[in-house]
Each structure stands twice: as C-alpha cells, then as structure tokens.
Amino acid sequence: LQLEQDLRTAPLSDQLWVAYQPIVDLRTDERTAVEGLLRWTHPRYGLISPVEFITLAEESDLINIVGAHMLHTATREIADLAPGLELTVNLSARQLDDPWLVSAIRHATHKAGLDPSSLCLEITESALTRDPALAARTLAALRELGVRLAIDDFGTGYSSLAQLLTLPLDTLKIDRSFTAGLGRSDEAEAIVTSIIAMAHAVDMTVIAEGVEQVEQLEILRTLGCDQAQGFLLGRPVPLADL
Ligand code: G
Ligand code: G
Ligand code: MN
Ligand code: NA
C-alpha cells in the first residue's frame, strides 16, 4: 500500500523514466525503431521492475496516470531528440479498455509534436482476446488516428489465429521463447517459419524478440524475418546512451 502511494506521486518527480531498446531492420542492418520501456527508480528501494509496478498499477486506477506519464515522456523525448525514429510503447489490458485511450494518444502525440505514424502501440495477445469485439473497435479508432499497432509476445496466448488476423494490426512480435529455440530445436524453427509466412500473407511486419546470439540472428535473416530486437543488438538504455 505504501508502494502504491509512492507510485501515485512518482510521476511528479524524476523517479519514472523511459529506457529505449533498439529494433533493427534485418535487410539494411539499420536501427529503425526503439521500444520504450518504463523504469521506476524508487528513492528507497532503487530500480523496481515494471513487471512489479505495472501489475500494481493495473490493480488500481494508477495505470491511467502511469500510462499517460509514460506516453507523454516517451513521445516528447523521441520528438525532441530522435525525430524520424519510430517509437513503440506497451499498452496494458486496462489501458485498452479505457474509453479515453484514443484521445489520450491523440493528445500526447499532438503535444509532443510527434507524427502519429511514428508511434506504434504494442498490445499483448491476451489483452486483445478478452473482449475481441471491444478490442476490434478500439483498434479501429486508434488506426484512424494514424498510429501503428503491434501484437506483442505472439505465441504465448491461446487465441485463434483466424480471429487475430481479422484485427487491424501492422506488426507481429514473435515472443522471445521461440527465438531462444532457434538453432537448438527444429520445432522452434518450424514454428517461426510458419508465423512469418502467416504474417506476411496478411502484409504484417514481423519482429523477433529476445535475440541474444549471432546464430539466432542469422537464422531469422534466412527465414525472412523483417526486424529483430534483443540484447545482442542492444539493451534498453536511457535515450542519451543510445
Ligand atoms: O524491460 P523489461 O523488464 O522492461 O519489461 C518487463 C515487462 O514490463 C515487459 O512485459 C514490458 O512489456 C512491460 N512494460 C515495460 N514498460 C511498460 C509500459 O510502459 N507499459 C506497460 N503496460 N508495460 C510495460
Ligand atoms: O513483454 P515485452 O516484449 O514488452 O518485454 C520486453 C522485455 O524483454 C523487457 O523486459 C526487456 O528488457 C526484455 N528483453 C529485451 N531483449 C531481451 C533479450 O534479448 N533477452 C531477454 N531475456 N530479455 C530481453
Ligand atoms: Mn513489448
Ligand atoms: Na514481447
């Protein structure tokens, strides 16, 4: 409860900040985008993982405050310091349900001076499939704003592919558990191959997450994966260190 109180006031100080991890195009080897990942440096406990505090925020109304702060910070930093670089941010399930989400995104991009087409929103498979009809409406409204949409951690949920492919999504991020199996198991390679084929068939861009080894990168290139992200290519760091 104390931690919840602390999180409530964290946006007012410099405790919440954004780390950025590069996303690399596998054809040109150029960095085309960065994923913004929220960080909380607590005055007493030090760095707290988003796994903990995002969960805490989702259990209360705090996710709206924290989510809005994240959006404003990341869009402003990218517009000011790295214009032209695409920014992707994670949305939690609660944010997707928020009726103010679309206007909050419009407001944040407008205020930062960031072209909405430079912003991509990552939504997990599970968040999309709790209420598919509502998700479809929200995604359509976000698309109308001009932002891009990605499905995050793909392969970890139990959604029907047919259902997912009816949603207006631009990008599919292959969960890092599949990347980890590349070069070790034929099964992982077969799964990644078919995910890429399926995504390309509906004109989606494919990003492989969690690339840690050169061999994984080479296999992904061979399989025709579009982009990659992972510790091999760069860890999440403050924008100035990128
Ligand atoms: O860097 P890593 O430890 O950053 O992130 C852990 C988890 O926290 C990931 O699943 C990531 O998607 C999530 N996460 C990081 N930043 C945010 C954020 O701003 N919003 C939401 N909803 N999730 C985030
Ligand atoms: O759920 P999401 O895909 O948004 O999670 C992003 C998380 O993945 C962050 O915690 C980030 O630090 C972590 N991450 C990024 N690259 C790698 C990697 O190469 N290996 C591992 N194990 N984690 C990674
Ligand atoms: Mn993500
Ligand atoms: Na992911």
Nearby residues of 135 by Cβ (< 8 Å), 6 or more positions away: 96, 123, 127, 128, 129, 167
In short, whether 205's Cβ falls inside 6 Å of ligand 1 is: no
Kindly indicate the confidence band of residue 120, based on its pLDDT and cuts at 50, 70 and 90: very high
Whether residue 61 has pLDDT greater than 90? no
Q: What tens digit of pLDDT does each residue of 150-209 get?
A: 999 998 877 767 778 789 999 999 999 999 999 999 999 999 999 999 999 999 999 999
Q: Mean pLDDT for the chain?
A: 94
Q: Where are the domains of the chain?
A: 2-241
From the DSSP assignment, how many helices (H) and strands (E) are in the chain?
A: 11, 10
Output the pLDDT for position 105: 97
Output the pLDDT for position 60: 86
**Which residue's CA is minimally distant from atom 15 of ligand 2?**
230
Fold that domain 2-241 belongs to in CATH:
TIM Barrel (3.20.20)
Q: What tens digit of pLDDT does each residue of 210-239 get?
A: 999 999 999 999 999 999 999 999 999 999
pTM (2 decimals)?
Answer: 0.96
Any bridge partners for residue 206, and if so which? 172
In short, whether 22's Cβ falls inside 6 Å of ligand 1 is: no
Prediction ipTM score: 0.97
Q: Give the side-chain half-sphere CA count within 13 A for 120.
A: 23
Region label for 97, one of left (φ > 0), alpha (ψ between -120 and 50) or beta (otherwise): alpha
Phi, psi of 34 (to 5 degrees): -135, 145
Pocket test for ligand 1, best of 90, 123, 152, 237 (most atoms within 8 A of CB): 90
**Which residue's CA is minimally distant from atom 19 of ligand 1?**
38
**Which residue's CA is minimally distant from atom 9 of ligand 1?**
51
Q: Which tokens sit at 166?
A: 């009816």
> Would you call 13 exposed, middle or buried from its count of C-beta atoms within 10 A (0-12, 13-18, 19+)?
exposed
Contact 21, 234 (CB under 8 A): yes
Average pLDDT of 31-49? 96
In short, whether 216's Cβ falls inside 6 Å of ligand 2 is: no
